[in-house]
Each structure stands twice: as structure tokens, then as C-alpha cells.
Structure 1
Amino acid sequence: MRILASILLGICSLGPARAEVACSRLVFATNPNYPPFSWVEDKTRYQGASIALLQKITLPGVTMEPVIYPWNRAQAMARAGQIDLLLSLRITPEREQYLAFTRSPAFPNPIVVFAREGGPLRTADWKLLEKYRGGVSLGDSFGGGFDAYLKEHLHVEVADTMTENFKKLSLGRVDYFVSGEYLGRAYLRSTRRQGEGRILALSPPVSREFIHFAMSRKSRCLHLLPLIDEKLKELVRQGIPARLLEEALDSMPEASETEPGKPATRPTR
């Protein structure tokens, strides 16, 4: 009996080692149209703050392999265990069914009110917004209790894209537009259109959201999540993600006039 117990104990002790050997290759993906967190350059490689942050997380003996797919497909592949790691997305109950998220956030993703400089709005006071016309993008949600307040008290128009909303704001067809701060700043920097009034992000944010890294619950690399989380926590403590976001904003290419607003996408991921 003691011999059998010893054998079983030895077999169990090999489990983690075998798992680590099996995870010599980690496949990851991110949203290909989510600047400044991530975008695709030359249709072949990711750029952006998410990629720069991942490059600072070393996993001994593990090769990280990027794959580029439309965001909805990448999430479906992670659900099936075909992608191990997804970068920079919000925690939602539906996603938690098939993804295990880092406890430490990867980046802040505050939601703000954008308005024209010199316009009627100076602050993002919720009560004050009731007097004006706003804009939101189709399918967006904002957290922090703002969604319910918007539905009950605010007058907003829904447009298909961020591009349309910023155009409406510039033309005075709406007085404000609610979006992710960094996503909106990326849009404004990438277009740099001339002849339009300056657009500003108002304070305070309507909600203070965060985005995280997450691993497929079917991934054979899932045991590495605590190590990724530990390294991510230290990088956040050093202020690295905030610095990488600013660097990504500065390095963004200008959008062409034939595709105004690209890269542009929805603020909540």
C-alpha cells in the first residue's frame, strides 16, 4: 500500500512539469482595430500598447505566436481553445464562462465625454448633460452606472461608428459624444483633419473602466496565468502601461482621407 501511494504521489508530481513542457508555444490575439491598444500594420503584424506590454512579459521556455483574425472570430477561437491568450479586453460575465482573466488590469480605459472647444459644455456633469444632445456608437456600453442614467435621462443619437459621431460633433449636430478616452484620442490624432473645431475630452470621466489580459479556459497554457498576472502587476506598479499608451498614441499613423476615422472602433471591449 505504501509503495502504491508513493507511485501515485510521483505520478501526480509530474503533472505540472508535463503541463509546462506541453506549453512551449502560446498563441495570442488581440483586437486588430483598437488603437492605441492594438492595430494591424501592413496586414501582417500587430502594433500598439498591448503588444509592447506583452513583450515585457517573459515566460521561460515559451514561444509567443501572434495570429490575426477579426475580433469576434478570435474570441470564438479562444472559446474553443484554439487561441491561448487574448489581450486587452473588458471582463464581462459572458466572457468569464470561457476566459480566465488576470486580476491585475493591463490598462486603464476610462469613458469620457468629448465636446467642442468653445461649446456649451465645460465639464462632464451628468445632470448638465440632460440639457444637450449627445451621441453614442451602436452597441456601446459604458459601466459605472452611466448606462442606466443615459437611458433614463439623456437625449442621445445612435450612430454606427465613432467616425460618424465625431463628424456630427464637429458639425454641431450633437453637443457631445461619449466614448473611450484613449480610443477617442487615437481617432483624433490619426485623422488630424484641418478646418474643424478642436475637440476636447471633458473631466471627470463618466466611468473608470479597465481592460485585462485573459486566457482560454481550454488552453494547455492556463497554468501560466498566475505568472502572467504577477509580472503584469509589477509592470503596472512601475507605471509601464500608462507610458506605453502615450508612446502608442505618438506613433500612430495618420488615416487616409478616403477612410476617415480609420482606425476607429467601439470604446468598450
Structure 2
Amino acid sequence: MPQCARVQACTPRRQALGLMGAGMLGAGLLIGPLTLQAAGIRQRLLMSYNDDYAPYSFIDPLTQPGRVQGILPDVLQALLKDLDSIEIENLGLPWRRAQAVVKLGQADGLCTFASDERKVYAHFNDVPLVELRPHLFFSARHPQRAQLEKLRSREELKAFQLVDQKGNQWAEQTLADFPHVEWTTGHDAIFRMVMAARGDVHVSLSPLVTQWRLKKLAIHAQVMSIPAPYMAASVPFHVGLRQDFPGARQILAHLDRRLSQSGSAQLIDNIVRNYAG
């Protein structure tokens, strides 16, 4: 079965848009959200999310299998609900594949750190959807716990063995000059290594994400965390749409206007609190 079919990347939609585009271009019109809205047509926007990054995006196979939940899809839906030209649908996949389907044109967008690599195939909006605050996580039984708790600089942190997940791209960029980094293929493997003393510390983008995972693994009482603002004061997550998506820049500009309006910050805070509870 073709990759496109497996991720429900909507060949019928592409065919329909192709036929519609031929007619509109023949009439000298630009295909985009405003054109579609004027024609009474809603264009599907297929957003691709990490299916295991709770509470920002996740799928719970026990309660709601197949449905993408989380802060990111809820915030984006709330901010774009007044854009009548598009209809948002969500796709949840392992993170590497979630990025790949956008890069390959089999999905339309993602919400994440706007890395240099992702900017090659996606346009990103300017105003962050959310901002994450990096923290250090390490075993409460670490023999150098007191020293870890006193860390105040990147140079001090370089003396320790770090453990991180390959593929999030923020870590690859930020830790490029660190001499001791062990890369894993998943979040759970990070903490198995930390608890087994096969690594000293993990730099987490978000304590909210990590605490959620530690509770799931039933080891939250065994792991310490401290803020690490010297790694980054914050890590912004933006919305990226593949560069050949019709009207991508118009949609992103609309999103920036909504994010800049009074009340949007409170709306986002309410959604975050709903999951942080």
C-alpha cells in the first residue's frame, strides 16, 4: 500500500484541488483561503502531531483510540475556528514519521520548534503558539546530586553525561558543542538510562511533558528537576505549513493576528491549565 494511503493523506482531496485549481487559474485567480471562502469551499488542513508527547499532543489508545488530544491541537482549533475556508483534521504518528509526512507532502502542517531543517520544507508563523521552559532532570539518588542542583551554566553542565532523544532537532542544535551526549530513540529510554546510572542528566524542553511521562512510568518521586534557563530562556513552538500548501502564508498571517489579539493569551493559559490540572 502506498505511504500516502497509509497516513490517509487524501489523494481524492489533491485530485479535487487540482481540478479546482485548473479552473481558477484559467480564470486568472489565486487559489488560497480567501478564494476558497468566497467560493463556499472548505479546504482540509491535515495537521500532523506527535502521538506520544502528552500533554501537548498524544493519543490515548484506551479511552479514545485514534483521536489526537492535547494542548497544541486544542489551541490551534480554538484560534482558527473563525477561518471558514479551512477544516482542520488531526493525524497522530510517532514523531519521526509525523515530521516525515509533512516533508513528503502527505500531511499539511505541524506544531513544533522551527528548526533550520524544518524551515526548508515548511513556512512558520511568527508568534509562538506556546513557549516551553527547559529543565534538567536527574536521579534523586545520583551521587553528585548536590553538584547538579547547583549548576548555573552550560560550561558546568558539559562535565556531565547527557541523555536525549534523537529527532527533536532542538537538542541536536543546542547540544552540538557538548562532548558527552548519549542519543536514544525514545523518551522512555532516556529515563531508563538515567535511573540505571548510564547517563547523568536529561535536558527537557518542558517539565510539564516530563512530569507527565514520569508519572506514567511511576518514577516521578525518584527524579529531580531544576530550571535550566542558561540552556534557553524559552523554546517557542510555532505552526509550520508545508510550503506548497495553497494559501499557507495567508493562514499563518491570520494565526499571528489572532495570537496578537487581547484574550488569546488567556485562552491558551486556560487550555494549558486544563491539561496540567
Q: How has the CA–CA distance of structure 1 residues 211 and 171 changed in structure 2, closer, same or farther, with 3 Å as cutoff? A: same
Q: How has the CA–CA distance of structure 1 residues 13 and 215 changed in structure 2, closer, same or farther, with 3 Å as cutoff? A: same
| Mapped pair 1:115 → 2:138 | yes
| Mapped pair 1:217 → 2:236 | no
| Mapped pair 1:54 → 2:76 | yes
Structure 2 unpaired stretches of 5+: 1-26
Q: How has the CA–CA distance of structure 1 residues 48 and 14 changed in structure 2, closer, same or farther, with 3 Å as cutoff? A: closer
Taking structure 2 as the reference length, the TM-score comes to 0.69
The Cα shift of 1:229 comes to 2.0
Q: Is this contact kept in 2: 1:111–1:142, CA < 8 A?
A: no
Aligned counterpart, 1:28: 47
Identity %: 20
Aligned partner of 2:60 among 41, 44, 50: 41
SS in 1 for 2:252: helix
Amino acid at match of 2:129: A
Aligned partner of 1:189 among 215, 226, 246: 215
Aligned partner of 2:122 among 99, 114, 119: 99
Larger relative contact order (CA 8 Å, sep ≥ 6)? 1
Amino acid at match of 2:69: Q
Shifted more, 140-149 versus 58-67: the winner is 140-149
SS in 2 for 1:166: helix
Q: How has the CA–CA distance of structure 1 residues 123 and 102 changed in structure 2, closer, same or farther, with 3 Å as cutoff? A: farther
SS in 2 for 1:150: coil
| Mapped partners of 1:14, 1:168: distance in 2 | 53
Q: Is this contact kept in 2: 1:115–1:201, CA < 8 A?
A: no
Aligned counterpart, 2:18: none
Q: How has the CA–CA distance of structure 1 residues 206 and 123 changed in structure 2, closer, same or farther, with 3 Å as cutoff? A: farther
Alignment RMSD (CA, Å): 3.2
Shifted more, 155-164 versus 101-110: the winner is 155-164
Aligned counterpart, 1:259: none
Q: How has the CA–CA distance of structure 1 residues 170 and 243 changed in structure 2, closer, same or farther, with 3 Å as cutoff? A: farther
Q: Is this contact kept in 2: 1:53–1:244, CA < 8 A?
A: yes
Q: How has the CA–CA distance of structure 1 residues 100 and 123 changed in structure 2, closer, same or farther, with 3 Å as cutoff? A: same
SS in 1 for 2:127: coil
| Mapped pair 1:150 → 2:167 | no
Shifted more, 35-44 versus 176-185: the winner is 176-185
Q: How has the CA–CA distance of structure 1 residues 224 and 128 changed in structure 2, closer, same or farther, with 3 Å as cutoff? A: closer
Amino acid at match of 1:110: R
Q: How has the CA–CA distance of structure 1 residues 145 and 162 changed in structure 2, closer, same or farther, with 3 Å as cutoff? A: closer
The Cα shift of 1:73 comes to 4.0
Aligned partner of 1:78 among 75, 91, 102: 102
| Mapped partners of 1:33, 1:211: distance in 2 | 16
| Mapped pair 1:90 → 2:107 | no
User: Deviations for 1:56-113, whole angstroms, at most 9, x for unmatched residues?
Assistant: 1211253222234444444344345443332x21212332232111111111123332
| Mapped partners of 2:156, 2:190: distance in 1 | 20
SS in 1 for 2:133: strand
Amino acid at match of 1:100: H
Q: How has the CA–CA distance of structure 1 residues 165 and 230 changed in structure 2, closer, same or farther, with 3 Å as cutoff? A: same
| Mapped partners of 1:112, 1:159: distance in 2 | 18
The Cα shift of 1:133 comes to 3.5
Amino acid at match of 1:109: L
Q: Name the larger-Rg structure.
A: 1
| Mapped partners of 2:35, 2:240: distance in 1 | 22
Aligned partner of 2:162 among 112, 126, 134: 134
| Mapped pair 1:169 → 2:190 | no
| Mapped partners of 2:138, 2:236: distance in 1 | 23
